[in-house]
Structure 1
């Protein structure tokens, strides 16, 4: 059946970001309660919310007809203000999604699939050690669902019916991916919960579908996720927490410098994420850097050998999401 009117303009992207901020805020307590990976410190929901809000705030007064350029502004602001692993990956996802959309005024099924594929590549490559059973599983699932649906369409791929079909399959794939996370990571198996970041990504995808369709978002099915009912205790409180600190900063590097720094940070700590924020020169980008280390100063000293870090944040892992 042909879908009712779909909004594929910048207005829908603006609405999507606003809805995501509101829903992540509403769900943050429950996301925090089941946050056990990679660090059991109960801030995944808060970090996703704060990161999404930074992106939304950046475009609150922005006027544009370019859906990619519009989203890029939000993505860049999110990346500069990202919180934790989860917030950083959300910002990288938005940045990747915006790239193929640049210069377009309307979203189509092929454009959505291109954006999701680019977001998947960006998200997986940003992490030195990507892990299944996380937000990455959801990102991978929606990208594959969009591509597969597009390949088997029997209608005009640029039609609204095609876009609606892709949205339907994306949402279903994301739900299945979230349910699958519980069996993919030992820490989730032990706690008997789904991954908090994966649920957060599902919220964002469900809000994208709803914004384009101009529908309200239904979250009733989320109550079936293990550990996600509002009356459940904060499971992360019973888990061992990782000692050390999370260091985040922005630094300008060429490709060789970025690769060298990534390798050195891998040797020093874990949960290394590096993603370009924007291009300065032909081979030089501003990079957002995230790492978990025993102590902040050696990591910052290492980074300073490669460039001048700005927008630095150092947070104790015992009180902050990984």
Structure 2
């Protein structure tokens, strides 16, 4: 797990500029690569110290859960939030397990794709969600064909199949979303998910990354320009925070944010509930949530969030990307 996350941090850092260059969905803000890298950096950093090894022990689920929670707390943007959801959800079936195998990989990817799709109020095909779903289905097919074989050989087959399915799903994104088809590029978040999955394959099998996977992706050559140059700037802001909410308040917040803006993502941070008093009523239980939304004006959204609890780490950023004369961008 640690080798995977460290490798993913480096790879996403190396590819952040090209991912930014083709980022136009859901908004052309040119920061998908940066957001994925910074979120994965937070995940990898959470596993840095000796004390961490003592606490997590020989438990791949505990290691990944710690990384996922750190990623969720520091998630950046749509893509970063979804990659944090992916890590946190994938950890759940691995809890208490000393090693990864094909059945566990299939279960982890299945859980992650369900949680990722449900985190968004309006999930869209042709994005990193589709890429994760394709990888999950491929891993499940291999596991079924191998009849639950827990050998390293079966795990290798499942990882190879998941990465190949992810690649094919990335290629399909160009025709699944009209903005991508018009710009003649694949989805940036989908490429990021593909890179993360190939890093997992590489870390587990001890093999090199499959750089050739990226050769045929439209818009991904180094000489290709950033495609934001001639696009209109996006209005509005992105609001993110973390907050403790009861299930009822979480449902109310999601509904109200859906009315105010779009790109609403709400996902639990960690799985433990916190009781407010000695009463065992479900209405008195609170969960920690990571909130993400795009709105025209941050004021009403922040006011709504504060009316339901005490948010932490509120971040408001403009969706518009500064362009320079050469058509570049500032991260």
Structure 2 alignment gaps of length 5 or more: 276-284, 323-329
Counterpart in 1 of 2:305? 303
Q: TM-score, normalised by structure 1?
A: 0.93
Counterpart in 2 of 1:102? 95
In 1, Cα distance between the equivalents of 2:230 and 2:18? 16
Q: Deviations over 1:151-209 (max 9, x none)?
A: 1126x611111111101110110010000000000100110000000000000000000
Counterpart in 1 of 2:198? 206
In 2, Cα distance between the equivalents of 1:167 and 1:72? 20
Task: Indicate whether 1:112 and 2:105 are aligned.
Answer: yes
Task: Indicate whether 1:40 and 2:34 are aligned.
Answer: no
In 2, Cα distance between the equivalents of 1:57 and 1:202? 21
Counterpart in 1 of 2:3? 15
Q: How does 1:127-142 map to 2 (within 5 A)?
A: 127-142=120-135
Cα distance change on mapping 1:59 and 1:291 into 2, 3 Å: same
Structure 1 alignment gaps of length 5 or more: 1-12
Greater RCO, CA 8 A, separation 6+: 1
In 1, Cα distance between the equivalents of 2:191 and 2:260? 30
Q: Deviations over 1:109-140 (max 9, x none)?
A: 11111111110111000000000011001110
Counterpart in 1 of 2:325? none
Preserved contact between residue 39 and residue 241 of structure 1 (Cα < 8 Å): no
In 2, Cα distance between the equivalents of 1:160 and 1:57? 28
Q: How does 1:180-219 map to 2 (within 5 A)?
A: 180-219=172-211
Q: Given the alignment, which residue of 51, 65, 69 partners 1:72?
A: 65
Q: How does 1:142-157 map to 2 (within 5 A)?
A: 142-153=135-146, 157=149
Pairwise CA RMSD = 1.3
In 2, Cα distance between the equivalents of 1:101 and 1:284? 25
Runs of 4+ off more than 6 Å:
none
Preserved contact between residue 41 and residue 237 of structure 1 (Cα < 8 Å): no
Q: Given the alignment, which residue of 47, 53, 60 partners 1:59?
A: 47
Q: How many residues align?
A: 308
The alignment partner of 1:30 has SS state of helix
In 1, Cα distance between the equivalents of 2:210 and 2:174? 22
Counterpart in 1 of 2:218? 226
Counterpart in 2 of 1:257? 249
